[in-house]
């Protein structure tokens, strides 16, 4: 299975999102074995869901709170994401970890809550430039995946996003991506041994139509979590077609 997910982050207006979806759907249709999704800002979830889910695409929340309701001003719960039309949720993105202090302890609760409300978690992991330069990449990835020992197995997608390659125009070289994805696969095999779950591993970090074909040729790269290029409907359609 190949998977491509657009992370719009804090971009696009309501009408720009409508135009994007209409243009994108005019360029592409999903083939067998290809999954695609969009993670828009919260204010556009209903709109995007109404437009793309009938065409077989997933809609992801960009984050979700572990509690189903309560006095958590500014947060959005998993059942609220479901109610808005989501079938999945991004968890642990590096921007959430770095800018908003998201911890592994919080992610354990969030993954469990996503499963409780029938949402597919897309767990993001990755090292900073300082950690890579210090030779700590695999240690960091192992620590971030260790939350699965607490959550237990369940439906899951994982995205490897080296933090230093997000939005910078830089990306990891093929041997670096191959090493990281092989390690992630081996680690997932330990946590999911004997279960029915098949976990695709996406790559994220300055993914573009010009780089995606090479990335898809790397073992254990099952697709991409796309930032900047996903704001252009033609580019995102090209990426989905490449995945197919």
Q: Name the residues annotated as catalytic.
A: 93, 161
Q: Are 88 and 121 in contact (CB under 8 A)?
A: yes
- Residue 145, strand partner residues: none
CA 105 to chain centre: 19
CB atoms within 10 A of CB 67: 15
Task: Report the candidate in 236, 232, 242, 241 with the shortest Cα–Cα distance to residue 12.
Answer: 232
Q: Are 142 and 187 in contact (CB under 8 A)?
A: yes
How far apart, in whole angstroms, are the C-alpha atoms of residue 32 and residue 89? 23
* DSSP annotation of 209: H
HSE (side-chain half, CA atoms, 13 Å) at 150? 14
Q: Are 177 and 127 in contact (CB under 8 A)?
A: no
């Amino acid at each position: 299975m190949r998977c491509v997910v657009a992370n719009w982050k804090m971009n696009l207006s309501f009408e720009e999102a409508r135009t994007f979806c209409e243009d994108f759907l005019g360029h592409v249709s999903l083939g067998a074995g290809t999954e695609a999704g969009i993670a828009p800002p919260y204010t556009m979830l209903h709109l995007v869901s109404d437009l793309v889910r009938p065409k077989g695409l997933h809609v992801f929340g960009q984050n979700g709170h572990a509690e189903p309701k309560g006095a958590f001003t500014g947060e959005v719960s998993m059942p609220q994401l479901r109610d808005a039309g989501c079938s999945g949720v991004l968890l642990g993105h590096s921007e959430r970890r770095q800018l908003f202090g998201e911890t592994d302890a919080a992610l354990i609760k969030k993954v469990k809550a996503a499963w409780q409300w029938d949402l597919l978690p897309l767990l993001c992991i990755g090292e900073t430039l300082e950690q890579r330069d210090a030779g700590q990449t695999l240690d960091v990835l192992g620590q971030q995946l260790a939350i699965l020992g607490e959550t237990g197995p369940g439906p899951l997608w994982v995205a490897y996003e080296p933090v230093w390659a997000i939005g910078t125009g830089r990306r990891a070289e093929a041997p670096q991506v191959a090493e990281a994805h092989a390690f992630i696969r081996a680690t997932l095999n330990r946590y999911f041994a004997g279960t029915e779950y098949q976990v695709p591993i996406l790559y994220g970090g300055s993914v573009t139509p010009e780089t995606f074909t090479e990335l898809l040729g790397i073992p254990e790269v099952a697709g991409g979590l796309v930032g900047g290029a996903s704001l252009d409907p033609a580019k995102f359609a090209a990426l989905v077609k490449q995945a197919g």
